[in-house]
Amino acid sequence: MFKRPILSGRPTVAEIDLEALAFNYRQIRKRVPKRTGILAVVKADAYGHGALPISHKLEELGAEYLGVAISQEGVELRRGGVKAPILILGGIFPEEEEEVIRNDLTPVIFEMDSLVRLSKIAGRKRKKIKVHLKVDTGLGRLGVPFDQFPVFLKELKKVRNIEIEGILSHFSMTDREEAYSSSQWKKFQEVLAIAREAGLKSRYFHMANSANLTFFTQYSGNMVRPGIMLYGSYPSPKIEKLINLKPVLTLKTRIHFLKSVPAGTRISYGGTFSTRRESLIATLPVGYADGYSTFLSNQGEVLIRGRRAPVVGRVCMDLIMVDVTDIPGASKGDEVILIGRQGRERITADEIARKIGSISYEVLCLIGKRVPRVYR
Ligand SMILES: *Cc1c(COP(=O)(O)O)cnc(C)c1O
């Protein structure tokens, strides 16, 4: 989990604005009916924002459930004092079952074997174990295949000491493509109808992620599972900004070293950049080991004194160089924004994602362990 850095002189930090998180959370609340629960997704260290502080804030905001990808993430939250129900979205492995139950984590289940094993554990502990049952309606990733669900349900009747607290599925489309999403939603409705007929009563049924909360709020169930939106980014770089969100994370540093060089000076490994004029080149203490992708070599931009400065030469493991010749007054120690706002300029995770052919999720998740997260 989050540890204070041993030495904190290096100015490369990720500032996390918990008020922006609260703002985004309320934006989502406004979009769904009053009774709809929010399962806030905090997997992958809360998309790089620090799972524990983010989860505590989400609990305080009233999130009904938290979602992690893997068991270890759930155990870490429990050790950090998180009390809210926690769903393990990615399923669990046999070796983890005991510990998952001991930590009161709710697994997503999609195989009979695993239900049978959990049922035995429950019998031994003389308690009911809660699980959420996942059905694949068209993503092709995890879940009981849609057409096998009726048979699965028959088998399920024989399994004791298990409470199916929720039934879920997951959408495939990340932008506005209603035909496929609505076909998945129809299948999910069929699944729920079959379950109801078989006498299976589940408290929650949920399917919507950020993309669906943006476009098709009618496909919500009685709980929704936003992830990226909570952090103020959009589920697709192409997405229309239909919802006003505030980016939660700012990645910043300071100018570490500054030098004036003549025209024709090669900068960084491989000499992929040479100055075309007498230039002022700043070296910044951030590199790909901090999550600043090598695909930003000769491509990225940063903000200094409210203006954009281009990354020149290759991104190194721990350092990058930027050309500040056109930034009047640029000095050693100046604040540099890699992701975030400065004056009227702004660089979003989505902008970086577009440049490197990725998605904002990956840009945020890549921010390295050695970058301290500082909470406001
Ligand atoms: C990651 C994830 C989400 C959240 O997705 P976003 O696009 O970040 O909103 C929801 N449900 C499941 C099963 C997930 O794996």
pLDDT digit string, tens, across residues 215-245 = 888 888 999 999 999 999 988 766 666 789 9
Same domain, 271 and 187: no
Same domain, 203 and 321: no
Mean model confidence pLDDT for the chain: 95
Q: What percent of the chain has pLDDT over 90?
A: 90
- pLDDT digits over 65-92, tens only? 999 999 999 999 999 999 999 999 999 9
- Global pTM? 0.95
Domain membership of residue 138 (yes or no) is: yes
Q: What CATH number is attached to the domain comprising 211?
A: 3.20.20.10
Decide: helix, strand or coil at residue 260.
strand
> What are 253's two structure tokens?
């540093």
Q: What is the pLDDT of residue 243?
A: 86
- Side-chain-side CA neighbours of residue 286 (13 Å): 32
Asked whether residue 361 is domain-assigned, the answer is yes
Q: What are phi and psi of 363, to 5 degrees?
A: -55, -45
108 C-alpha to ligand 1 centroid (Å): 13
Residue of 45, 134, 225 to mutate, ligand 1, most atoms within 8 A of C-beta: 225
Q: Does residue 359 sit in the same domain as residue 278?
A: yes
Region 34-43: what's the mean pLDDT? 96
pLDDT band, residue 173 (cuts 50/70/90)? confident
The verdict on 277 and 200 lying in the same domain is no
Nearest Cα residue to atom 15 of ligand 1: 89
Pair 146, 119 in one domain: yes
Residue 104 lies in a domain: yes
Please check the confidence at residue 178 and state whether its pLDDT lies above 90.
Answer: no
One domain, residues 278 and 330: yes
Question: Is residue 136 a contact partner of residue 144, using CB atoms and an 8 Å limit?
Answer: yes
CA triple 365-361-289, angle to 5 deg: 30
Residues 213 and 335 both lie in one domain: no
Pocket residues for ligand 1 (CB within 6 Å)? 41, 43, 89, 170, 209-211, 225-229, 235
Question: Degrees (nearest 5) of the Cα angle 17, 295, 69?
Answer: 50
Three-state secondary structure call for residue 267:
strand
Within a domain: residue 287? yes
172 lies in a domain? yes
Q: Are residues 194 and 304 in the same domain?
A: no
Of the candidates 91, 155, 98, which has an alpha carbon nearest to the alpha carbon of residue 122?
98
Whether 3 is catalytic is no
pLDDT at 160: 95
User: Which of 8-12, 49-53, 239-243, 265-269 bottoms out in mean pLDDT, i.e. has the lowest?
Assistant: 239-243
Q: Which of 173, 207, 232 is the last residue of a domain?
A: 232
Q: What string of DSSP letters covers 90-141?
A: T---GGGHHHHHHTTPEEEE--HHHHHHHHHHHHHHTS-EEEEEEEESSS-S
5 lies in some domain: no
Give 290-307 pLDDT, tens digit per residue. 999 999 999 999 999 999
- Amino acid in position 368: G
Give kind and range of the element (H or E) at residue 303: strand 301-304
Instruction: Report the separation in Å between the CA atom of 227 and the middle of ligand 1, taken as the mean of its atom positions.
Output: 5
- 65 is an active site residue: no
* Whether residue 178 is found in the same domain as residue 293: no
pLDDT of residue 1 exceeding 60, the answer is: no
End residue of a domain, out of 232, 263, 288: 232
Asked whether residue 3 is domain-assigned, the answer is: no
Q: Mark whether 149 and 279 lie in a shared domain.
A: no
Q: Are residues 126 and 198 in the same domain?
A: yes
- Residue range of the domain that includes 205: 18-232
The confidence score (pLDDT) of residue 182 equals 92
pLDDT higher than threshold 70 for residue 345? yes
The CATH number linked to 337 is 2.40.37.10
Q: Is residue 7 part of a domain?
A: no
**Is 3 a residue whose pLDDT tops 60?**
no
pLDDT value for 239: 63
Out of 172, 204, 232, pick the residue that ends a domain.
232
Q: Are residues 218 and 299 in the same domain?
A: no
Structurally, the chain folds into a number of domains equal to 2
Nearest CA to ligand 1 atom 4: 227
